[in-house]
Structure 1
Amino acid sequence: MKIRQYCYFSVRSTSLSAADMTAQLGMQPDEVLVMGSRSRERVLPRCHTWKIVCRSGESVDDQIQHLMDRLEPIRAELVSLCADDDVSPAMQVVRHFGDPDGIEVAPDGTAWDQAQDWPRPLGWHLSLSMLDFLVSTRAELDVDEYDSSDDEDDR
């Protein structure tokens, strides 16, 4: 089975633009969303979003660690910004199982010593320092998992 996964840390607000968040945090985001930029009929996206993203073949916990390493220098600014009730921080984990463009998981029957050479996409954990970071910034952990193999069957 192949799996594609990525993680990002986002800060969302209906009153602060991504530019305002950038100014307060002193760090350029990797991606932004502008409230209402996709549709005039409906307000999509429903908020402004500032994002730091990690897309790699590494495990989820390694990706989250990379995000935290980038965000740690602005932690005090994040804590201050995220104290506002209109600001919603989140650590997002997105996983697509059975994605043809994903990385291969070691096949069933692979010997343990050989399996260690394969990428470790399935298991992950949050260390105490990761949990402390999420709590200090008031960030939620949101994990979305999809079975992409079903998509191919529906075609």
Structure 2
Amino acid sequence: MNIRQYCYFALRSDTRSAAEIAARLGMEPDEVRVRGSRSAEHVIPRCHAWMIVRRSDESVADQIQHVVDRLETIRSGLVSLCAEDEIGSMMHVVRYFHDPDGVREPPGGTSWEQARQWPRPLGWHLSMPVLEFLSATRTELDVDEYDCSDDVAADSRA
């Protein structure tokens, strides 16, 4: 099964822009969202967001560790900012199963030494330092998983 997955840390606010958050933290985001920029009528996105993103073939655990490592330099600022009621923080994990563009686990019969070189799309864990970081910054964990097998089947019938 092919899996495409990525992670991102987001600071969200109804009132503070990503630019204001970046100025306060002293770190530019990888991506931003502007409240109501796609639809003012339905207010989509629903909030401003400042985001640090990791897209790679690494395991979810390795991607999250990479994001946390990047954020360690501004940890005290994050702790202070996330203690304020108008700022919310979230670590997002997004996974697409049966994605033709995703990575695949090694086939059966692959030696342990060879398998260690393959990406690890299935299974993941959070280390104690990562859990402590998430707790210190009052960060929630959100995991979204999607099955693309219906999309693949529909594409093959077209």
* TM-score (structure 1 length as normaliser): 0.95
Q: What is aligned with 1:17?
A: 17
Q: What is aligned with 1:57?
A: 57
Q: In 1, distance between residues paired with 2:84 and 2:50?
A: 15
Q: In 1, distance between residues paired with 2:145 and 2:95?
A: 5
Matched, 1:124 2:124: yes
Q: CA deviation at 1:112?
A: 4.3
Q: In 1, distance between residues paired with 2:141 and 2:117?
A: 29
Q: In 2, distance between residues paired with 1:85 and 1:110?
A: 52
Task: Provide Cα deviations, 1:86-117, integer angstroms capped at 9, x if missing partner.
Answer: 1110110000011001112222x233423223
Q: In 1, distance between residues paired with 2:46 and 2:120?
A: 35
Q: In 2, distance between residues paired with 1:24 and 1:85?
A: 16
In structure 2, give the amino acid aligned to 1:146. Answer: Y
Within-5 A mapping of 1:6-155? 6-107=6-107, 109-113=108-112, 114-155=114-155
Q: Tell me the matched-pair count.
A: 154
In structure 2, give the amino acid aligned to 1:27. Answer: M
Task: Provide Cα deviations, 1:9-58, integer angstroms capped at 9, x if missing partner.
Answer: 00000011111100111100000000000013210000000000000100
* TM-score (structure 2 length as normaliser): 0.93
Q: In 2, distance between residues paired with 1:30 and 1:67?
A: 11
Q: CA deviation at 1:118?
A: 1.8
What 5-or-longer segments of structure 2 have no aligned partner? none
Moved more, 133-142 or 97-106: 97-106
Moved more, 116-125 or 78-87: 116-125
Q: In 2, distance between residues paired with 1:112 and 1:142?
A: 34
SS at match of 2:41: coil
What 5-or-longer segments of structure 1 have no aligned partner? none
Q: In 2, distance between residues paired with 1:61 and 1:38?
A: 32
2:100–2:152 CA contact under 8 A, matched in 1: no
C-alpha RMSD of the superposition: 1.1
